[in-house]
Amino acid sequence: MSQSELPRTERAARELLQPLAGELARLSPRDLRPLDPAPPTPLEALPELLVRARAAQEPWRHKPFAERLQPLLAAARELLQRRQQGMSIVEEEMGKVEAEALFNETLGPLDAVKGWAAVVRPALQRKKVRLNPMSFPGKRAYIDVVPRGVVVIIAPWNYPVAGLYRSVFPALMTGNAVILKPSEYTPRSSNWFAQILAAHLPPGLVQVALGPGEVGAALLEVKPDACVFTGSPHTGRKVAVRCAEHGIPCSVEMGGKDAAIVLADCEMDRTVAGITHWTLSNAGQACGAIEIAYVDRAVADRFVARMREAWTQLRVGPGHGSATDVAPLANRRQFEVVKAHVEDARTRGATVVCGGAPLDKGLWYAPTLLDHCNDTMAVVQEETFGPVLAVVRVDGPVEAIHAANRLRYGLGASLWTRDVARGQRLAERLDVGVVNINNHAFTGAVPSLPWTGTRATGFGVANSAYALSTFLRPRTTVIDRRGKPELFWMPYDATLIELGDILADLQTARVERAWRLPALMRRRIRTLRAFFR
């Protein structure tokens, strides 16, 4: 996509913030206090990272699964034991509130390793394939899956620790080496995870390349064996194209703009609580965050009133300490995008029910509920990635589903209704990768469930056995026990042509000439013996 084709507010924010790019990784979102810089990895050092990774991966790939699993379990236990250290880094660098630094980032590594083990172990088993003994006499075959080799993981900033579980753990568990390129906005958090993990593994098996987007681009030029990218459509398309040019398998996830469809028969208490959480968790900076609520007009007034009541009681800002509910935006670029989207909605006729403005020093932004939104607004058409919910009033679920399926992204959606059977029927009509009924987005942390999408979200798959094709490739082995030449091998003659013609007839139940097969086969055998004697 060219610069002129970018959505209007995304393009404006980029132009505005180009001069600020150098400072983004050095400011605390809480108070804009400078942080110690994280020195980038020199581009000329990247080829050596690949050399070390290949050397470490070769013996690692041949280890039994249990021997690869044990150090990952040990590393996960250490990550849990040192969670306070990780939480402190994430809170400082990204501004996460304490509860989310604990529950969303540092609490899950052991569960993730165990969950991935349950997915990977059966996927690695050799699969025997039955061959038709008439068509393929004396032969047997089986399929193994083998690791790709060295996997480059270009990671996002919004979940700088837990976001790595669904790529780094399965990559290593399946026998690969990993070169991790963290976001330039959160290098310390991801590096903390990677360094603890690397200490439990052979040297060179997990390495980190720090720096801006140029480092990620340069990593593709050293020709790794696979790539996992999570980030914006703008960058994701570039990654996918370059990987295709180099023949590198890749999984690309490029964002989301999830919709919640609120039916007239919803359980209002749960609906308000659930949509509040999945809109404002991580300050809305999640690809699976709810950004739009399509609400049945019959309950829209009550829904908006209840949401306003809840949101105005949330604690936001630096004065609440560990009791803070909603985090600041993680970087100034995202802060400007959120401001631009809200202002765009206001000028196009949306009602600001609550919020709608920055708070205090730092990158805090008030939880913002916008009513009477429509398709002309950026908060409906573009990824906001902030603590903002656009309410669109609809005449029932059919209109809501049509609207959700028109969105640029197609990662997830949710239906809120007491009638679960009806919810399931409606879910089948949503053109997204993940649908929840009376919940939202939590499956992103479940290794056994695919996390994927459609349209601008991209074609990548995280989690589940469906994601393993990024890390594994199939290898077929066929064993032939026969000692004589095959009937269908050279030299060709009229006997072979007649034999094939009769076999074709037999497939369509024409058996008139079947009686000739034994004689033709004996003739072919004599021909081959004479030729190769």
Q: Is the same domain home to 199 and 299? A: no
Q: Are 356 and 231 within one domain?
A: no
Q: What is the pLDDT of residue 14?
A: 41
pLDDT surpasses 50 at 17: no
Q: What percent of the chain has pLDDT over 90?
A: 92
The active-site residue out of 250, 287, 354, 373 is: 287
**pLDDT tier for residue 486 given thresholds of 50, 70 and 90:** very high
CB neighbour list of residue 57: distance below 8 Å, 6 or more residues apart: 147, 149, 150, 175, 176, 177, 205
Q: Is residue 516 included in any domain, yes or no? A: yes
Mean pLDDT score of the chain, rounded to an integer? Answer: 94
287 is catalytic: yes
Q: Residue 20: inside a domain, yes or no? A: no
pLDDT tens readout for residues 18-66: 333 343 447 899 999 999 888 999 999 999 999 999 999 999 999 999 9
CB 170 within 8 A of CB 468: yes
End-to-end distance of the chain based on CA atoms, in angstroms? 64
Average pLDDT over residues 209-226: 96
Token output for 219: 């990593």
Residues 102 and 228 in one domain: yes
- If asked whether residues 231 and 275 sit together in one domain, one would say no
Task: Write out pLDDT tens, residues 82-107.
Answer: 999 999 999 999 999 999 999 999 99
pLDDT, tens digit (0-9, with 9 covering 90-100), for 244-260: 999 999 999 999 999 99
Tokens 């969105």 belong to residue: 407
The enclosing H or E element of 442 equals none
9: pLDDT strictly greater than 50? no
Measuring CA to CA, which residue among 442, 493, 434 is closest to residue 460? Answer: 434
Considering the chain, what percentage of its residues have pLDDT values greater than 70? 95
Query: H or E segment at 272?
Result: helix 268-280
Q: Mean of the pLDDT values across residues 373-399?
A: 97
230 and 118, same structural domain?
Answer: yes
3-state secondary structure of 123: helix
Q: What are 399-450's pLDDT values in tens digits?
A: 999 999 999 999 999 999 999 999 999 999 999 999 999 999 999 999 999 9
Q: Quote the pLDDT of residue 16.
A: 36
What are the tens digits of pLDDT across the range 266-291?
A: 999 999 999 999 999 999 999 999 99
Q: Choosing from 184, 253, 291, 383, which is the catalytic residue?
A: 253
Is 132 found in the same domain as 238? yes
Pair (262, 224) in one structural domain:
no
Q: How far is CA 14 from CA 3, 5, 20, 24, 334, in A?
A: 10, 13, 10, 13, 10
Please indicate, yes or no, if residue 431 is contained in any of the structural domains.
yes
Indicate whether 476 pLDDT > 90.
Answer: yes
Q: What are phi and psi of 139, to 5 degrees?
A: -120, 150
- Residue 413 maps to a domain: yes
**Nearest residue to 30 (alpha-carbon basis) of 93, 87, 85, 86:** 93
Domain interval for residue 135? 44-254+466-475
Flag whether 456 is in a domain. Answer: no
> Is residue 334 in some structural domain?
yes
Bridge partner residues of 179 (DSSP) = 152, 207
- The two tokens of residue 251 are 């999984």
Rounded CA separation 247/225 (Å)? 9
Cα–Cα distance for residue pair 437/82, rounded to 1 Å: 36
**DSSP structural state of residue 316:** B
* DSSP output for 145-167: EEE-SEEEEE--SSSTTGGGHHH
d(CA 360, CA 276): 22
Read off φ and ψ for residue 126, nearest 5 degrees: -65, 140
CATH of the domain at 210: 3.40.605.10
For the whole model, what pTM was predicted?
A: 0.92
Q: Identify whether the C-beta of residue 212 lies closer than 8 Å to the C-beta of residue 187.
A: no
Residue range 103-131, pLDDT digits in tens: 999 999 999 999 999 999 999 999 999 99
A 10 A CB-CB count for 438 gives 16
How confident is residue 520, by pLDDT bands cut at 50, 70 and 90?
very high
Q: Check: CB of residue 43 under 8 Å from CB of residue 218.
A: yes
Work out the average pLDDT over 188-215: 97
In angstroms, the Cα distances linking 86 to 107, 108, 313, 467 are: 10, 12, 29, 27
Tokens read off for 282: 């991580």
Residue 2: CB atoms within 10 Å: 5
Give the 3-state DSSP-derived string for 25-74, with helices as H, strands as E and coil as C.
Answer: HHECCCCCCECCCCCCCCHHHHHHHHHHHHHHHHHHHCCCHHHHHHHHHH
Is residue 139 within 8 A of residue 131, CB to CB? The reply is yes
Residues 289 and 275 in one domain: yes
Question: Encoding tokens for residue 448?
Answer: 């056994």
Tokens of 62: 């041949």
CA-based torsion, 461, 463, 466, 469: positive or negative: positive
Query: 442 and 321, same structural domain?
Result: yes
pLDDT in tens, 445-464: 999 999 999 999 998 999 99
How many CA within 13 A on the CB side of residue 202? 19
Taking alpha carbons only, the member of 129, 180, 128, 126 closest to residue 156 is: 180
DSSP 203-252: TTSEEE--SSHHHHHHHHHT--SEEEEES-HHHHHHHHHHHHHHT--EEE
Residues 359 and 274 in one domain: yes
Give per-residue pLDDT as tens, 298-353.
999 999 999 999 999 999 998 888 899 999 999 999 999 999 999 999 999 999 99
Residue 55 lies in a domain: yes
What angle, 0 to 180 degrees and rounded to 10, lies between the N-to-C axes of helices 187-198 and 65-81? Answer: 130
Give the strand pairing for 150-154 and 177-181. Answer: parallel
The verdict on 323 and 225 lying in the same domain is no
Residues 425 and 502 in one domain: no
* Pair type for strands 258-262 and 250-253: unpaired
What is the total count of domains within the chain? 3
Secondary structure class of 365 (helix, strand, coil):
strand
Residue 176, in any domain of the structure:
yes
pLDDT computed for residue 171 by the predictor: 98
Determine contact, residues 391/371, Cβ cutoff 8 Å.
yes
What secondary structure letter does DSSP report for 186?
S
**Runs of H (alpha helix) within 289-387:** 297-311, 332-347, 378-381
Which whole number is the average pLDDT over 198-202?
A: 98
Q: Answer yes or no: 253 catalytic.
A: yes
Nearest CA to 444 out of 428, 416, 467, 427 is that of 467
